[in-house]
Structure 1
Amino acid sequence: MPGRATGYRSPMTTSIALFTRDLRVHDNPVLHAAAAADRCVPLFVLDDAIISSSFFNANRASFLTDCLTDLDASLRALGGALVVRRGQLADEVAAIVRAHDVTEIHVAADVSRYARRREEALRALGADLHVHDASINAVPPLSLAPSGGGDHFAVFTPYFRRWETVQRRGVLRAPRRVTVPEISGELPGRLHDGTPSPDLAAGGETVGRELMASWARTGAADYAEVHDALADDATSHLSPHLHFGTVSVTELLDRVGTASEGARAYTRQLAWRDFHHQVLAARPESATRDYRTRDDRWRRSERDFEAWRDGRTGYPLVDAAMRQLVQEGWMHNRARLVAASFLCKTLYLDWRRGAQHFVDLLVDCDLANNQMNWQWVAGTGTDTRPNRVHNPVAQAIRYDPDGAYVKRYLPALADVDPKHVHEPWRLPEDEREALDYPPPVVDLREAADRFADARRKR
């Protein structure tokens, strides 16, 4: 085959690594592939569609700022820099495609309706679009299907059995170098007018990787035994980093392994994340509509909702959970379960109201996991026992026996004897009246009967 003419030079290739929920340089398929081009534009777009939505709260804005600052520093260490633009995502990407003759766009696959519209818009820009399936999830959302038919698994256990057998991709190193063309795009300033939670955790890949290394080394082994112990707070605290992608779930699974019972239990929790993503990918309407309707006629009580929202229900575990949410922008998983059950099944209020309140405050609020976990608790989702109710007193006695978690977030109960801390209404009248703490907003037995009766009538 004849050679090329002397002096021939192949055209320079330019790619875009479009960061979304994968704000890291390590084990990032998007950046890894895009950096193979002669020039690469590491791009993050502050999309007006997200920035102006109710989903973008002060806590996530603060965490995101940390993430972008850290990502820029990491890219500069590789010879590059992060390019940040603000506006309509497709318009901002299109401008860079035109200005720099971009031939390839790389982006991570995601499951929301917004992500699907984003992908459609990117395909129309003229450059080759590469959508990387295993960047945000360990297993691509719709890559598994039941053998009996259907496009997704509606029950977790059979999904998990299949999920465990999947050969996951290998962990990728950070690129050795990222060569960026001459382009402007500075890091943003303040992204939200609201005030973040006072004890909000810091964001960024550097923090996330330190947390991941510590968890894999010393935390995960005991996870099965202690993860529900509220006062011990013995969970990984990696959920915000998984949501923003400062930590790769593939690398996290690789580091944690399956050698201990705790590691296997933690792996199961990460599989729940993929499970909910595949449910939302198959049924995007379940972000706002019942996945399996029970034809509930939810009560409407602003008094009860405000008591729940403000941590003034009179049930200490529920109230402590809601105070933790305000203070940290985060909540222990067991506390989330109890607080959600109390709203949906004890107060019999619409799960969507609770889900939105979590959207308003949680730093780790992932659309799929937030909405589908709320539906699971409400009994309108994938739970095979849709009428189960989590009694807040029984849960507190089991998972916070000395009341240490409750006292951490409810200083009014700091001096209450442990035998009464979860049921302060049983204190002698003079002691009860001395507390700055409300009586129960509802009787648990009456509430349980009301819920059971409501479900029976549907």
Structure 2
Amino acid sequence: MTRPSLVWLRQDLRLDDQPAIAAAADGGPFVALYVLDDETPGEWAIGGAQRWWLHHSLAALGGDLERRGGALVLRRGPAAKIVGQVADEMGASAIHATRHYESWWRAAEAALGDRLELHEGDTLVPLDELRSGAGKPYRIYGPFHRALSAHSVAEPVPAPARLAAPERRPASDQLQDWGLRPTCPDWAKGFSVWGPGEAGALAHLERFAAEAADYARRRDLPSEVGTSNLSAHLHFGEISPRRVWHTLTSEDSAKFRKELAWRDFARSAILADPEIGNRDQRARRVAAREGRSADSDFRAWTRGRTGYPIVDAGMRQLWSTGWMHNRVRMIAASFLVKHLLIDWRRGAIWFWDTLVDADYGNNSLNWQWIAGTGIDSQPWQRMMAPLVQSRKFGAADYIRRWVPELTELDDEAIHEPNGVRNYPEPLIGHRAARERALSRAGS
């Protein structure tokens, strides 16, 4: 009798272009295992918004596996220990998994030793093949992108048509018992705009492929649906970056392909410094403010009450839907760090808990880029002007949607409202904020 194998799932919740599942399926019956591990990642255990998405993603994947004859097992605890235990229960011939790059997952992979067969599937190309002349992970995006562009991206492998589960399956937790969704109050009601799962990911890709010709222009316009909406699907591995890459093949897709390359670069940045989520990659130019005033400003920022409509619209969109438009993310992050002089880590942690697509590499790299502390970042002196950005990128309708206090203002007045009832005055003027930030540079 053929011994079954085990597939350990993490952020690779799909059947299409899933090399770990393909390898297991070729060997006969197998079980797919997802371990909810809040211990191994430590402070980087997944946040509240991600937990909502995870519930629906696992429900979708379980259904997909069952329809093809496979099985999904759920367990909770430290991943390496649980994976080993389940493999022993099954008498598994092999354990297959997709390679991950976060330090806690690499430690768990190492703990499983020779029992674990790792497969490439989280990046466009294996990162071991993208090294600097010194043999180290790249720290600057330009050389990284040139190195990646010199490699061919492997064609995605279709999902197996049929799967086989062993006659005796390991015991499984019940998904609803994990309590991943909020109950009272249900702060995730606005998350219904999303469709977690592989089918939702493929639908978004199909929609985006039909519109990608205008992506380079529309991606910066928050009032339009010009982005791919694939970020959370990519984060949870509901679609592979290789599938996206080979679907978007026209010259018009070049800009979005660079975004996929940046995602790979974020993983390379983790290899360069696993503590990128906590540690400045270069010396900070300005010391962060502390104390009650900074705490009050931070609360106003999280609640969308800064007095800057473009910032407030973004923060309210984030709280309502678990997502924020990319251009507005940069504006809101820059405002926190440079207008309010609050440590980028506080913003990164807030995003980690509230974003459905909160990816450790991307989140950390992008915040450090804004703060001027990153391995490849903008200079501190480059300070985004929210009012200029709001007008330049036509954010009036976006503001009306998320800041209803300003609905009646015209397209010009809405960016910089004056004396509107129930809407706060700016926490600090842009000119005063810029002078303060520059005067404190190097302090």
CA contact (8 A) 1:142 1:281 kept: no
> In the alignment, is residue 322 of structure 1 matched against residue 322 of structure 2?
no
Aligned to 2:227: 235
Q: Distance in 1 between matches of 2:83 and 2:132?
A: 38
1:361 aligns with 2:370: no
One-letter amino acid of the counterpart of residue 214, structure 1: R
What is the match of residue 6 of structure 1? none
Q: Does residue 323 of structure 2 align to residue 338 of structure 1?
A: no
Deviations 1:346-397 (A, max 9, x none): 1111000000110110000000000110000000001153431111001001
Question: Counterpart of 1:246 in structure 2: which amino acid?
Answer: E
Structure 2 letter corresponding to 1:435? R
Q: Is 1:70 matched up with 2:60?
A: yes
State how far apart, in whole Å, the 2-side matches of 1:52 and 1:185 are: 24
**Structure 1 residues 202 and 59, CA, compared in 2 at 3 Å: closer, same or farther?**
farther
Residue 156 (str. 1) matches residue 141 (str. 2):
yes
- Corresponding letter in the other structure for 1:226: R
Aligned residue runs from structure 1 range 55-454, under 5 A: 55-123=45-113, 128-133=115-120, 135-147=121-133, 149=134, 151-181=136-166, 182-183=168-169, 184-189=171-176, 190-192=178-180, 194=182, 195-200=186-191, 201-216=194-209, 218-257=210-249, 259-261=250-252, 263-294=253-284, 296-300=286-290, 301-381=294-374, 382-400=376-394, 403-425=396-418, 432=419, 434-454=420-440
- Cα gap change, 1:141 to 1:51, in 2 (>3 Å): closer
Q: Relative to structure 2, which stretch is displaced further, 175-184 or 76-85?
A: 175-184
The residue type equivalent to 1:334 in the other structure is R
Distance of 1:204 and 1:291 partners within structure 2: 35
User: In structure 2, do the counterparts of structure 1 residues 130 and 268 end up closer, same or farther at CA, with 3 Å as the change threshold?
Assistant: same
Q: Does the aligned pair in 2 maintain the 1:137–1:274 contact within 8 Å?
A: yes
- TM-score relative to the length of structure 1: 0.90
Paired residue total: 431
Contact 1:314–1:439 (8 Å) recurs in 2: yes
Shift of 1:110: 1.2
CA shift for structure 1 position 332 = 0.3
How far the C-alpha of 1:120 sits from its partner, in A, is 1.5
Contact 1:412–1:436 under 8 Å retained in 2: yes
| Alpha-carbon contact 1:317-1:392 (below 8 Å) kept | yes
Q: Indicate the percent of aligned positions where both proteins have the same amino acid.
A: 35
CA positional deviation for 1:56: 2.5
2:23 aligned to 22, 30, 33, which one? 33
CA contact (8 A) 1:62 1:196 kept: no
Whole-angstrom CA distance in 1 between matches of 2:302 and 2:357: 18
Unpaired runs of 5+ residues, structure 1, are: 1-10, 426-431
CA 1:384/1:421 → structure 2, altered by over 3 Å: closer, same or farther?
closer
Residues 63 and 359 (structure 1 numbering): CA distance in 2 closer, same or farther, change over 3 Å?
same
For the Cα contact (< 8 Å) 1:57–1:192, is it kept in 2? no
Equivalent-residue separation in structure 2 for 1:384 and 1:330 (angstroms):
24
Q: Distance in 1 between matches of 2:42 and 2:195?
A: 23
The change in CA–CA distance for 1:282 and 1:51 in structure 2 (over 3 A counts) is closer
How much has 1:38 moved relative to structure 2? 2.5
Q: Please tell me whether the aligned partners of residues 58 and 196 of structure 1 are also in contact (alpha carbons under 8 angstroms).
A: no
Unpaired segments ≥5 residues, structure 2? none
- Aligned-residue offset at 1:93: 1.6
Aligned Cα root-mean-square deviation (Å): 1.8
- Residue type of the alignment partner of 2:118: V
Distance 1:213 1:110 in 2: 27
Residue 89 of structure 2 aligns to a residue whose secondary structure is: helix
Match of 1:44 among 34, 41, 47: 34
d(CA) in 1 for partners of 2:51, 2:43: 12
C-alpha contact (below 8 Å) 1:413/1:435 kept by paired residues: no
TM-score (norm 2): 0.93
For 2:275 and 2:349, the matched residues in 1 are separated by 16
Amino acid at match of 1:197: A
